[in-house]
Amino acid sequence: MADSVATIYDVAKLARVSTYTVSSVMNKSAFVSPELTERVLQAVRKLDYTPNAVARSLQTRNTKTVGMLIPDIANPFYARVVRGVEDRLSKDGYSLLLGNTYNSHEAQTRYLTLFRGRQVDALLLFMAAGGEDAVQRLVREKRPVVCVARVPRKFECDSVSADNIKGTRMAVEHLIRKGHKRIGVVTGELALSAGMDRVEGWRQALEAHGMAADEGLIESGDWTEKSGFESAVRLLRTKPPPTAIFVANFLIMTGVLRALQGREGADSPVVEVASSDDSDWLDVFSPPITTVAQPSYEMGMHAADLALARLADRDRPFTKIVLEPSLHIRS
C-alpha cells in the first residue's frame, strides 16, 4: 500500500469487517462494539487511511466547508476578520474557502457560482456594490448566508457589522474639538451601508456642533488606495480646501496621505487625517493618525457563529449583530 492510496475497502479487508462498519466508526454514525472499533482504527493507522471528503459529503450533504468573499486580503482589516472566522470554524471541524472580489459584483457572481459548485455549507461575504440581488436569491433559498460589515438594505439576512455611524461621529467630533471647521470625508460606494453610514456619522457630528454639512466635501469611491488618492486631490481643489479629512478605511487612507505628500510646500494649511480601521503599527507611524478601531477579529468570530447557527436551524429568525467601535486618539 506504500505506493497507492488506501481505500475504505482496504481498511475493511485488513480489519476483517464490512465497509459499513468502517464508515460507522469513521463517521460515528452507528454503534460499533469497542473490539471492532479498535480493529478498524488499527487498520486505519496502519494503512494511513484518509476518508474521501467528496464521498462523505454525498452521503451527509455536508462538505464541512464555508466560502468567504472579501474585497482585498491586502487590507489588514479583512485579514483580521478572516482570522477570526477561521479560528472559530476550525473548532467545529470546518475549512474555509476564500475569494477576493476586489469590490466587483461580477467577481462576486463568479465566486458564488464556484462556491455553489463546491457545495459549500455556508457563505460569508463583504457584499460588493450592485451584488445585492444575487445574495438575496440565496437567502430566499434558505441557504446559510452571513453579510459581514456591509448590511443589505433591500432584504433581511444574518449580519455582523460595526457601528460605523457612531465610529465616524466620534472621529469627526475629535477633529472639531481640535478646532477644525472645514472637514471632508472620503468613503467607499454610497450604495453600500458601510459607505453611507460613514457619511451619516460625519453629518451628525457636524450638525451636533452647529456646523453645516457641506455636500461638496463628500467624496466616495471604491475603497482602494487609488480611489483615496483621487478623492483627496479633488477635495484639495475645493475653495477653501478642508483642514481635516476623515477617511473610511486603511487603503483609502494611504491614498489620501500620498496625495497630501504631493502638495508639500504648497501655500495651504496642513491637513489633518483621521481614519477608520486601526493597527498596532500605526503607533509608530509618522505622522501619528487617530483611528476608529473596529473589533475585526470579533466580527469574524461572530460571523462564523451566525453561519453555524443557521446550519443548525435554517428557519431561525435572522440575527443582526452591531459591534461597538473605539476611538484611538494619537497626537
Residue the block writes with cell 457636524 = 206
DSSP code, position 331: -
Buried b (16+ CB within 10 A) or exposed e, 19-42: eebbbbbbeeeeebeeebbebbbe
Q: Which of 271, 263, 277, 282 is nearest to 245 (CA)?
A: 271
Dmax (CA) for the chain in angstroms is 87
All structural domains of the chain, each given as residue ranges with its CATH number in brackets, are 8-51 (1.10.260.40), 63-162+296-324 (3.40.50.2300), 164-293 (3.40.50.2300)
The model's pTM is 0.78
Residue the block writes with cell 483642514 = 243
Q: What are phi and psi of 307, to 5 degrees?
A: -65, -45
pLDDT score at 277: 78
Where do the H-state alpha helices sit in the chain? 8-15, 19-27, 34-47, 53-60, 76-91, 105-117, 132-140, 164-177, 193-208, 225-236, 250-261, 296-312
Which of 140-146's residues contact partners 24+ apart within 8 Å by CB, and which partners?
Answer: 142/314, 142/315, 144/307, 144/310, 144/311, 144/314, 145/310, 146/122, 146/303, 146/306, 146/307, 146/310
- Up-side HSE of residue 71: CA atoms within 13 Å toward CB? 25
How many whole angstroms separate alpha carbon 205 and alpha carbon 183?
11
Q: Which three cell numbers stand for residue 28?
A: 460515528
DSSP code, position 50: -
pLDDT score at 172: 96
**Which residues of the chain have a pLDDT value below 50?**
1-2, 54, 57-58, 60, 265-266
End-to-end CA distance of the chain: 66
Q: Which of 30, 40, 53, 37 is nearest to 10 (CA)?
A: 40
- The answer to whether the CB of 195 falls within 8 A of the CB of 219 is no
pLDDT score at 267: 53
How many whole angstroms separate alpha carbon 18 and alpha carbon 13?
8
- Written as one letter, the residue type at 239 is K
